[in-house]
Amino acid sequence: APCAPLWAHPTARRLLLHEHAWVRHAMGRAVGALLALLTAEQLVSEPLAPHGCLGGDGGGLVRIADAIAEQLHSSLLNEAAAQQALRSLLWIGLATRKEPSLAPQSREHERLLRGGGGGGEEGE
């Protein structure tokens, strides 16, 4: 898989949220470069899927998007890093719209979508 080396270790999220701005920016650029090389279809295709290009459980892309979104709240963020983060989030949003399996829903989210949310209901 072309992206397996980058995601082989669970450090991508930690690097995206590293305390040093240059580390965050470098990892953001790496993520952006990887996404630019891939399509949503490639992320769910047979050769990549077993290795979990962005996370073997199908939630890797969501975790990466979450970390990128957290970057936007940082006082360490510069304009170039913000632009890269937004490009990556846009790519991820479009990819998950095209291939919903890239963003599996949590049980809590599914429950809320079915109308069982809030209000302290214990019947489920």
User: What's the confidence (pLDDT) of residue 76?
Assistant: 82
Q: Which amino acid is at 67?
A: A
Mean confidence (pLDDT) of the chain: 75
Q: Which amino acid is at 62?
A: V
Structure tokens at 35: 């996404």
Structure tokens at 95: 């990819």
Task: Please tell me the distance from the alpha carbon of residue 38 to that of residue 99, in angstroms, as a whole number.
Answer: 13
pTM of the model: 0.72
Q: What are phi and psi of 75, to 5 degrees?
A: -75, -10
Check pLDDT > 50 for residue 8.
no
Check pLDDT > 90 for residue 7.
no
**pLDDT single digits (tens) 50-60:** 445 554 455 67
Q: Is the sign of the CA dihedral 26, 21, 18, 42 positive or negative? A: negative
User: What's the confidence (pLDDT) of residue 73?
Assistant: 92
E-only strand ranges, the chain: none
Q: How does residue 44 score in pLDDT terms, banded at 50, 70 and 90?
A: confident
Residue bearing tokens 């963020």: 77
User: What's the confidence (pLDDT) of residue 51?
Assistant: 44
